[in-house]
Structure 1
Amino acid sequence: MKQTHKNIRPLIVSLSVLLFLSLTGCWSSHEIEEQSLGIGMAFDKGKKSFIEKELNEQGEGYLRKDLITSTYQLITPQVASSTTKQAGPQQKSYLNVSETGDSILQMTRELSLRSEQPLTAHHMKVIVISDKLAKSHGLEKLLDLNFRDNDFRPSCIVLISNGRASNTLETKKAGEIPAFRLVGIVENAFRTTRILPPMSLIKVESKLNSESSFLLQNVLSVKGEVKFAGAAVIKGKTHKMAGTLNEEELEGVTWITGKGKGGVVKSFDKETGQLIVYEIESMKSIIIPRVKGDSISFDVNIESVGRLSENWVVPGDTFKNEFLKEAEKSSEKEVKRLVGNVLEKMQKEYKADVAGFGNRLRIEHPKVWNKVKKDWDQTFSETSINYDVKLTINDYGTSGGSK
């Protein structure tokens, strides 16, 4: 028995030494100083840069149709260090580089001809696609490389821009990084019903594969300033952008889906016409499919609990139940208006179910769904939808009494 232990001990020591040697470093690693970290991408209609025009005049470059201009937002060690040492009103914390061509991968590889630091996409946060490009190209083509490439995280967020997408990757504020700014705005959904839940690459791919119509957050950029302004309607059949919902219409979708985390409802008192603001603390919505023979309809039951945050009604005693009930009715009327308006646009103008009605039908009536799913958007446009809204004010702050 002792002899066995003596034979095993040298083997254990040898294995331990080999293990320690394997932990001394990463054989395939690259120094951080040699990397350009890609954090944002923008796709626009083709627009040649000055250097590309010069190459064309010289008869150089490679064969391409010049359909797309890709803009890459990079953080390099040089940019980061120079920003720290020389911070000033014009100092940028990022670098934007553009290429024009007809292959996303080839454009990415072209960057290797302009910089000694290869692009890495492991930290890519956001992809912005211009509305013009989204209307002329299917998203499955524009994002094919991103879906296939393991370098791109599935959590990377996809947005649509009103105007050139590359403008959303610019800022005038010193030290601000535009890609991080866009992701940060997405996280403000707990304050407003005008921001969609984030649509990541993996969610977009799932929608495209299922041929379901869906929404992508729309972002507007003017002179380095950006604002989330409504949503782009992506048709399930074509995978292209069909149009937009404005900010109020996006609010209506949020109430239908019940996915809002916060926000306000501004309404006006029936008798005085004065302002009443209801602040959302919670909301939920239940979409109930009704099937009778070949007829399909839906009931939408919306509920919310919130507080009376602003009241301009004079006189208006918020301590009285009668006044609170009237405030609730006023806010409910406004939500019904928002819901009715967006349903009209979804069904009549775009003929696109972007609020999940088909998904509820699939869950509760799978056999019926299998019959209608092939042309669901058209069927949806012809269905009857009833909706009910119930808001409850459970808090009115510390101010009350007659004004």
Structure 2
Amino acid sequence: MLGWSVVGFIVIVWIITLFRQPTQAVSVLLIFSIIYYDNFIINIQVDLILKVLFLLTVIAVGFKIGFVKKYLFATISLALCIYFLSIIHAQWTYNYSVLDSITAFASLTIGLLFFCVNFNERQEFQILNIISVLALASLIMGIPLGLLHLVDYFGRDGLALAGASLATNLSFFGTVGIMAAETLKNRTGLTKYRWLEYINFLIVCATLTRGGILASFIVLIPELLEFLKLAINKVKFFMTLFVGLIILIYPVKLLYNEIIQRTFQNGELNTSGRFDAWNHIISITNNKWYGNGYGYLKTMTGDSQLVAFTAAHNEYIRSYFETGLLGSVLLSIILLSIFYWVLKFRSTKKIDYVLMCCIAVLVYSFTDNCITNFRFWIPVMCVLSCIVKQQNSFRLTLKGNKGI
């Protein structure tokens, strides 16, 4: 009963916002995405429902304000090539069906469609502001949900923050939140976005997610260098830096100890089983050119060596296993094309933080599910779309974009 009530509430709010203003429906779905529903809803696939709503939303937005045609044709055509090459050579089993492949492919497609949407400036500000506070919203919403025992506010055996999300997902929101806040800071010059970047970084650190901490730090490098420059030239910033460092000595020491403890056990590198799982995934790839089939990995619940890795925690390994060398090359072309467009047609004169965002996505994808998990992939594609200057677009209808 609780599950259907939650789903009904999500759908009703989504319908209301979609008809009032489709771009607001994007923000609504992003907010709903911060909750980890699997903790208290077992028999309903809420994540699948959210993905369907995201897909319908991006199509509706495209009908109204248009897609950038060169981005759309290039990315979607390559994505479809990846999909069809993999399923043509897939080996269907009792566990792995066409529906499994379609739902897995939907995550990639939805993110690419959001990147191709030609948002105007007001819509970009709205979306960026929502994304920049997703991690904070998770912590706030996690309080009542935690008190009701619907979610675990602290993850990793009580050592890390999780909020209303998993610790891993909270790290996703914090990392993308830094990207969004940095974009807003560069556009507006408002100091509040600088502090929002630091808050998001602290949240990511508190999740003890090593890949997220590294990716977040990469995004923050230009901001940290800029802040150090200000601290050297202005007393106000120097005092802020000095006081901040004193306050952070103890938390940083605790964080360092926890990260070292998670990373090294008995003097050996601890990858939480990742290397063993990755080697196993590579070894059971049936077709090195075309892979086992898009979405195949998530259905391998019967493999004892993949108990925690039916999501590979490495998009490169996952891509090779499911789509082979050809699919991995095509995916690389898609990502590099997106990064090229973002860097070339960026809406800011600063190239450093934009480049760091692209590098962070590539680095983070080595240790986590940054494409298969829509909670990272959709927001990050929205941010990159907002960084790009508006390009020539086409609408899917002949009518104007009234009400947007």
TM-score with structure 2 length normalisation? Answer: 0.25
Could you say which structure has the higher helix fraction?
2
Structure possessing the higher relative contact order (Cα contacts under 8 Å, 6 or more residues apart): 2
CA radius of gyration, larger in: 1
* Structure-1-length-normalised TM-score: 0.25
The answer to which structure has the higher strand fraction is 1
